[in-house]
Structure 1
């Protein structure tokens, strides 16, 4: 079934409302979709027959994962029935359920234990997350009520080409319009149209004057505080710190409904919005981090694999883990040749290693010093130093090859160094003899030398600890990343079916749209980082004058066709975009990314606890490693049984009995007793 789920997900990604419905691709995809709907329905029927439906223990619907499967299977069947019965108008309305097919990839979760674990943790955190959401909504409501009372109808201004062509005096009059009787002859000449002769007896507004002159009275921003709903949506966007300064600026410029904004008219709004950012963004929204991390730790304590062990047993297990992290090392012996012995002596000195590390650091800094407009002398100087560094690295590799022989290639750092040296030399030679068209390639090859900076990691224990912690957290991060990719996949396929036909705008352009699965995926990946997602949401939700709600296939229209002379796509927006983007931001930005933070923090905390509570300190393990190497110089991992007693006599407790008199019979008797206890 996993193969069917994966195949159906691929079909969903390939489906597109912009395809020609009579094309071979569209027909094949529709046929496959029907096949998958039947397969999933049959799977559900078989499981219901074998497990029972809902009443008995272990029944089909008793499992939350089966509920998801049943929902997807039934919705797919309903859509299939609606597609067959296209003649009935009421049944056509059921076709709107076809967007629910995007949930099919979620069925993969129940087939992967790692993904189920992450989802289980998320489900466990739902009550706490809902509490935070409720608290946030109360906060948004309080700020929204205040903002609506003072800012409703004020985020509008006179704009357009006609407004831009107005004189300075006309724009000043627009800000503070005066009664007709108070106008001069010049000012009255501005209103030559018969429509605008005289003014209404009620209060005169900038909007009336603007429309009299034929200009457009438009919103300053897509966001506004005209009602509580719009205000709460605006504050949710503010809580993500996305373009919050432009909203604050518009509020500072706002005057009153129907009046033209004035720059910095009321700067007290700065305090209002900064107060919200402190409380609503920095404080309340970061509560999500604490909730996710706290729930993560609770789940770990509840379901951890070692909760049945005593503290002593846990320490013993940790000691065994620490002991298994080290492996045998080879004791390198100097070669017999005089040149090799000399190189062996030199490369093993601390001064030589410090010199090489200094060359790596200097070479990296010089490569980072390249900039546009640098002088010829500077370029020549950096090139000379770079070539000298390359020579030093080549000599280092040659000396270590002479000193260590085959053992040189057994070390991964040495393998890395040799690859970098060879690649750099090849790039230098190619650059010297090849044409200028290969220059970019050779420079890219030479930039590989920057990677040698990772050699510094070897000499820094703190950096090694950080990298080790990140490495340990990779399994947990891979599960979270898989869920994140799955969420992006579901939202991308749903976005294509919902917004593929929406007309292009300044924000929905050739690079940010849902006209294909690939572009939609990249668009949502950008939105997950908070990059102008609010502007795109409003553009996808709004409708331009003359738009068509669901444009039929037209080969001459852009989107349906990629020709240069195509007509602009004229599809209307869909208000579902508000729910689409807000839910996506809440799930991805506030939950999934914070869960990633929780995993990394837990890995660092675990590493710190292991370091503080470790029975076998690194110095003791290193001493054991070297003592073992004396008995196993070729690093096979095995020693003779008669060598065990000298080993334990040479190693400090608890790994050995250094200073404690012990004979071989006593040692063997103790080992048999220990093995017997471990078996129990």
Structure 2
């Protein structure tokens, strides 16, 4: 069932006789081929993989029970929950300031441009092609050595330019430290190549430089599939380490048992001077080979030998005795193969498949890590000092400057006001409040996740200490309501002043005197004054209606009617 030695057994069965004690005959029982093929299909392909599937399924179920946070959430709610978890682990970073020196500022502009990183990646790829062309011919070696020196000069210049442009900020990046270490080792190996070649080949350093190709995964957003695989691998590392420790514990126990029972075996079959049970290291090597299901049947065959298979080099008293209890040897190996190969090793597959599934689901979510990184990258342009706050007046421009799907294109003031973003003193808004509101806009609202949202906001507050020191005093919606209320009060106050002006002014009371002197000119001036007063009070005059019929305060209508009668 484990595909070890099954073909030898099949050929022996095909050549065997139906009666015991007779010599084998070539292909005497051809129908045994069918028997073994059927057994391999059902016993190995089907049942063995079904066994592995059960192990993986139970492993995933236990993992979900341990986490227990998303058992009763729908798929949309899980997306929202994952987005909140990503929010809690991020905060704005202060951008690297541009040097005031003209020359260093010029280098800074070059280094921070995307074209610079793309150019370096191209040189790395070309260096990889040169490494593939290495051979033992002397002429080719000289040419390739000169080309490698050129690439070393390019990478050295890159490090020098970055150190000058970024100053001490250069050493805060892990990628930069990796680049610098590779360049330094390459220069040292080129200077003292004879000494370094005694320990390791210079090709190893050039191979390490190829790991920098991983940068291109950050520059090219279309490589999301490869990034998903790498992300799944990184997520699996902690669990793989734990499973490895469990496997080592099982190997340690079985190695001690093997040394106590199988140390007397003679060196034949799978047992030799390296793979044996006489020492702890030899026992671990044997068990590690069996863990990969490689040749475990040869070890079992050696364990099942009779007394003549015992060695007299260890203890003369073992000569003429059985080395191993046959039943115990079978139980020892079968149990170890089931525990290590069929259960523990397949847990590696379960972990990787589970994390790959999670990474695939997260990459398909409406919001991923890249979207939040782009948010904070845009935030750095509006908040260069990394205060985690921006002015309320800059919110509209910031929302329009974001990349999709978080972007809210202009005109966006009504949408931003309706989000009811909290305002702190100085009319400022915190980055987490904006990002949380924009995330809700993309993923939608979930009323039954209020407790979870409060819990995540508490974690965000702990991660972003600046938010805890600034308590909200208002909000965008409340501010708009206050502005509308102020306009209503101002308009009512203007109307009140207008009524008082009509009550106190003597202009209309002397209407008869001015009409007799100026005639129709006075009516035009009257209409002009009325239109100005109505504009100030928030009304519009209707030209089709006479002046006296316009909706004015009652006092003015009475005066106008009296004056018209006198005229």
Q: TM-score, normalised by structure 1?
A: 0.54
Matched, 1:391 2:153: yes
Q: Secondary structure at the match of 2:198?
A: helix
Report Cα offsets for 1:136-172 as digits up to 9, x if no partner.
xxxxxxxxxxxxxxxxxxxxxxxxxxxxxxxxxxxxx
Matched, 1:505 2:257: no
Equivalent position to 2:198, from 418, 421, 440: 440
**What is the 5 A alignment of 1:157-556?**
239-254=1-16, 269-307=32-70, 310-311=73-74, 314-370=78-134, 374-431=136-193, 434=194, 438-441=196-199, 443-460=200-217, 461-545=224-308, 547=310
Report Cα offsets for 1:156-211 as digits up to 9, x if no partner.
xxxxxxxxxxxxxxxxxxxxxxxxxxxxxxxxxxxxxxxxxxxxxxxxxxxxxxxx
Distance 1:633 1:253, change over 3 A: farther
Name the CA distance, whole Å, in 1 between partners of 2:60 and 2:150: 53
Name the CA distance, whole Å, in 2 between partners of 1:591 and 1:546: 32
Name the CA distance, whole Å, in 1 between partners of 2:245 and 2:82: 29
Give 1:607's aligned residue. Answer: 359
CA contact (8 A) 1:252 1:267 kept: yes
CA contact (8 A) 1:503 1:573 kept: no
Distance 1:389 1:665, change over 3 A: closer
Give 1:597's aligned residue. Answer: 349
Name the CA distance, whole Å, in 1 between partners of 2:138 and 2:31: 55
Distance 1:517 1:411, change over 3 A: same
Distance 1:252 1:369, change over 3 A: farther
Distance 1:547 1:447, change over 3 A: closer
Give 2:333's aligned residue. Answer: 581
CA shift, 1:611, in A, is: 3.2
CA shift, 1:332, in A, is: 3.7
CA contact (8 A) 1:502 1:569 kept: no
Distance 1:399 1:262, change over 3 A: farther
Equivalent position to 2:398, from 632, 646, 650: 650
CA shift, 1:349, in A, is: 4.4
CA shift, 1:390, in A, is: 1.7
Distance 1:569 1:322, change over 3 A: farther
Name the CA distance, whole Å, in 2 between partners of 1:503 and 1:657: 78
Equivalent position to 1:629, from 380, 386, 401: 380
CA shift, 1:582, in A, is: 0.7
CA contact (8 A) 1:527 1:533 kept: yes
Give 2:485's aligned residue. Answer: none
Distance 1:418 1:666, change over 3 A: closer
Name the CA distance, whole Å, in 2 between partners of 1:357 and 1:579: 56
- The structure number with the bigger radius of gyration is 2
CA contact (8 A) 2:270 2:298 kept: yes
CA contact (8 A) 1:539 1:573 kept: no
Name the CA distance, whole Å, in 1 between partners of 2:178 and 2:242: 30
Name the CA distance, whole Å, in 1 between partners of 2:4 and 2:133: 34
Alignment size in residue pairs:
418
Distance 1:617 1:470, change over 3 A: closer
CA RMSD in angstroms, aligned pairs only: 3.8
Give 1:668's aligned residue. Answer: 423
Give 1:639's aligned residue. Answer: 388
Distance 1:254 1:359, change over 3 A: farther
CA contact (8 A) 1:253 1:261 kept: yes
Q: TM-score, normalised by structure 2?
A: 0.64
Distance 1:339 1:440, change over 3 A: farther
Structure 1 unaligned blocks of 5 or more = 1-238, 549-556, 562-566
Name the CA distance, whole Å, in 1 between partners of 2:396 and 2:362: 25
Name the CA distance, whole Å, in 2 between partners of 1:440 and 1:428: 13
Structure 2 unaligned blocks of 5 or more = 218-223, 438-449, 459-567
CA shift, 1:605, in A, is: 1.5
Name the CA distance, whole Å, in 1 between partners of 2:315 and 2:134: 46
Distance 1:387 1:252, change over 3 A: farther
Name the CA distance, whole Å, in 2 between partners of 1:453 and 1:657: 40
CA contact (8 A) 1:477 1:596 kept: yes
CA contact (8 A) 1:288 1:594 kept: no
Distance 1:310 1:341, change over 3 A: same
Name the CA distance, whole Å, in 2 between partners of 1:471 and 1:536: 36
Name the CA distance, whole Å, in 1 between partners of 2:346 and 2:420: 58
Report Cα offsets for 1:205-262 as digits up to 9, x if no partner.
xxxxxxxxxxxxxxxxxxxxxxxxxxxxxxxxxx111233333344455567555556
CA shift, 1:668, in A, is: 3.2
Distance 1:368 1:570, change over 3 A: farther
Name the CA distance, whole Å, in 2 between partners of 1:645 and 1:558: 90
Give 1:120's aligned residue. Answer: none
Report Cα offsets for 1:383-440 as digits up to 9, x if no partner.
2222222222112212222222222222111110100000011011012xx46xx523
CA shift, 1:589, in A, is: 1.0
